Chain A
Amino acid sequence: MNYLERKHRFLFFLRRHQPLKICLILSPSVIWVFLFSFIPLLIMIYHSFMTKGPLGQVLHIFTLANYEKLSFLYLGVFWRSIRLAGMTTFFCFIIGYAVAYWIAIYGGRWKNLFIFLIVIPSWSSLLVRIYAWLFLFRDSGIINYLLMQSSLIDSPIPMTFNEVGVLGCLIYTYLPFMILPLYASIARLDQSVLEAALDLGASPFNRLLKVTIPLTKGGIISGVILTFIPAIGEYIIPDLVGGAKVTMMGNLIADKFLSFRNWPLGSAITTALLIIILLLIFVYAKSEKQSGLFEVQES
């Protein structure tokens, strides 16, 4: 049996066994996700049920104590995370929708250039951008300096090391994640549908609410998820821009692992956060299911 014959037999065998073929094609990505995402997740969940040793080592003794420790204090931090992530998503949506809409409808031949300009900042490291943000907005930063020099203000406006500063930097960081999916779905809008809405007597505002937004809901949902989920677990922005004073869930968890060597409690907080976020998405998906929004995006 020569090589070609063997190859043909193999391909024929695959054609008759479709599921096996799919498995083979998917196997690299499945193995990757399994090894580097699923197994670490299991290790973390396992740690959350283990006992912390007196010297900060992990003792492999089953306990529920870590979950019993989740207290109202954490609830406060969790609420702050939800609030900041929610506000980030909201403002990103307001700004992002306007920008995406403008580029998609009025961008003309400059469309790609505008999208390119939005993507460019992500080419440099997030850390560099955060320090740049600090240079601009800190008390001795460029903006406060210019305002003071032009004697518009007497003392610097505190725009860093507080919640407002963290929120501003979060919006700045996550805006591209909102604009890109929105742009993709707005660009695919059928222009004639929009014209028809006006012809049938809808005011521009009504058209936006009743036609444009419902038709781009797919992009909105991807944008919201891409912004909200990473923002709620944000660690480096509250640490640097918030001066480690505006504690979010990410900072709480990092402190457990890095400052107190309390891996079990850190794992328990992470697991609890994970479950809550999954529940939120699940409830959201369920409530939206009737309208078929979690299906493939409509065009």
Chain B
Amino acid sequence: MCSSRKIMSAAPLIALSIVLILSSTLFAAGDMPPDLLEKVAKEGKKLNVYNWGYYIAEDTIPKFEQEFGVKVTYDTFESADAMMAKVQAGGGGYDVVIADNEYVQYLIRLKKLQPLNHKWLPNMKNIMDKFVNPSYDPGNTYSIPYLWGSAGFVYNTKYTKDDPNLSDTCSWAAILQGDKYAGKIGMMDSWGVSIAAALFYSGYSMNTHEKAHLMKAQEILLAQKKNVKAYGEVRKLLEAEEVYLATLWSGDSVGVSERNPAIKYCAPKEGMMLYLDNWTILKGTERPATAHLWMNYLLRAKVAANNANYVHFATTNQAALPDIDESDRNNPAVYPSEAVMKRSEFSEAFDGEQLTLREEIWEIVKAR
């Protein structure tokens, strides 16, 4: 008697929760095509994701797993080349992989990507026009955009007062030229960012194919080396105030500035390197539908806004803009001014001789 009464009293609660769960999946999954969900069910409800470290909101994956009952195995990498090495060696069993504008091109040309089925990606309508149909992947055949950012530099206003190069329109000159901050300069250990900075500062395109332009960049970086405290570890050095200036990714600068408000981001007037990260599906995946489900989920306005707010990089999602934190939306580090954007560039995928030239420059800068 007693137990049956308990069940009786619990019955409405159970019924209510079933209705709630059903309705939440029904309403929330309204943006997912029914045939996609059918296929997902057949694929075993598993997904292997390979992303940059610290590049997604903490609750995105649990919420995705909860909503669709898909078990996500999540791995991260710290270097795009490490990711490439793994993919080239056979994929590591990943279904979806993130790649920036440059590496998407390598992956496409190495025939490692699976063409997308846009019928399964209705949320692509949320993406800003300027990020749809990019030159590196016409028609978004293989990739969908995620977040974008820039590589400028940060400076500590406590030690750089009254520097004309660090006023409202700041310049690469502050970090690349002169001995004013000798021993107080940090550089990310990245040949792409460093060579691009020197090229922009010399007034050339970062995608130049002219050897003379690149030699000028080498000269600048070599002259700068004696003033550089260290290549890499810049965030630690900035926080300890052992360096006053350092190249840094835009999103990372937000965290650094939060901990030390004296540190400001500079989007240099000469222009800077931009990058755009994209989600791709590896060829040969056994779970193409689940991979599309993941992509379409990340394209949702609320999910995209949540991710952007968490990692402080700029969103490509038009519909997410109203939900982006005010502090990020008005932060020139995250969304740089039109004037700077006009001069900034996305990196092309260097290959053959162009890549070798850049490899030799970086080798000389580091080894001498």
Contact = CB atoms under 8 A, between A and B. Distances in A.
Interface of A: 54-57, 73-74, 76-77, 138-140, 158, 161, 239-240, 243-245, 247, 251-252, 255, 257-262
Contacts of A259: 79, 81, 191, 362
B359 interface: yes
B241 interface: yes
B335 to A, nearest CB: 30
A255 B362 contact: yes
B276 to A, nearest CB: 20
B233 A243 contact: yes
Given A54-B355, A243-B230, A257-B85, 16 more contacts: A54-B352, A55-B109, A56-B355, A73-B363, A138-B242, A140-B242, A161-B230, A243-B232, A244-B231, A245-B225, A247-B366, A252-B366, A258-B79, A259-B81, A259-B191, A260-B362
Interface string B103-118: 0001001100000000
Nearest to A248: B367
B242 A240 contact: no
B218 to A, nearest CB: 13
A56 B241 contact: no
B183 interface: yes
A161 B81 contact: no
Contact of A244 (B110, B230, B351, B359): B230
B104 to A, nearest CB: 12
A57 B240 contact: no
Contacts of B240: 138-140
B215 interface: no
B189 interface: yes
Contacts of B231: 243-245
Contacts of B363: 73, 252, 255
A251 B230 contact: no
A55 B103 CA distance: 10
Interface residues of B, number: 32
B364 interface: yes
B57 interface: no
Given A57-B88, A258-B81, A259-B191, A247 B367 contact: yes
B126 to A, nearest CB: 32
Contacts of A257: 85
Contacts, number: 75
**Residue of B88, B225, B367 with most chain A CB atoms under a 10 A cut-off:** B367
Given A244-B230, A244-B232, A245-B228, A261 B84 contact: yes
Interface string B335-368: 0000000000000000110010001001110111
A-B pairs, 7 with minimum CB distance? A243-B230, A244-B231, A54-B352, A54-B351, A140-B240, A260-B359, A247-B367
Given A244-B366, A245-B228, A255-B366, A55 B110 contact: yes
B367 A76 contact: yes
Tell me the interface secondary structure of chain A in the complex.
loop
Nearest to B190: A259
B82 interface: yes
A77 B365 CA distance: 12
B338 to A, nearest CB: 33
B225 A139 contact: no
Contacts of A261: 81, 84-85
B82 A245 contact: no
B241 A140 contact: yes
A9 B368 CA distance: 68
5 contacts: A56-B106, A140-B242, A255-B363, A260-B191, A260-B362
Contacts of A55: 106, 109-110, 351
A251 B106 CA distance: 25
Given A54-B351, A76-B368, A259-B81, A243 B242 contact: no
Contacts of B368: 73, 76
A214 to B, nearest CB: 41
A251 B230 CA distance: 14
Contacts of B242: 138-140
A112 to B, nearest CB: 39
Nearest to B366: A247
A165 to B, nearest CB: 11
B88 A243 contact: no
Contacts of A56: 84, 106, 351, 355
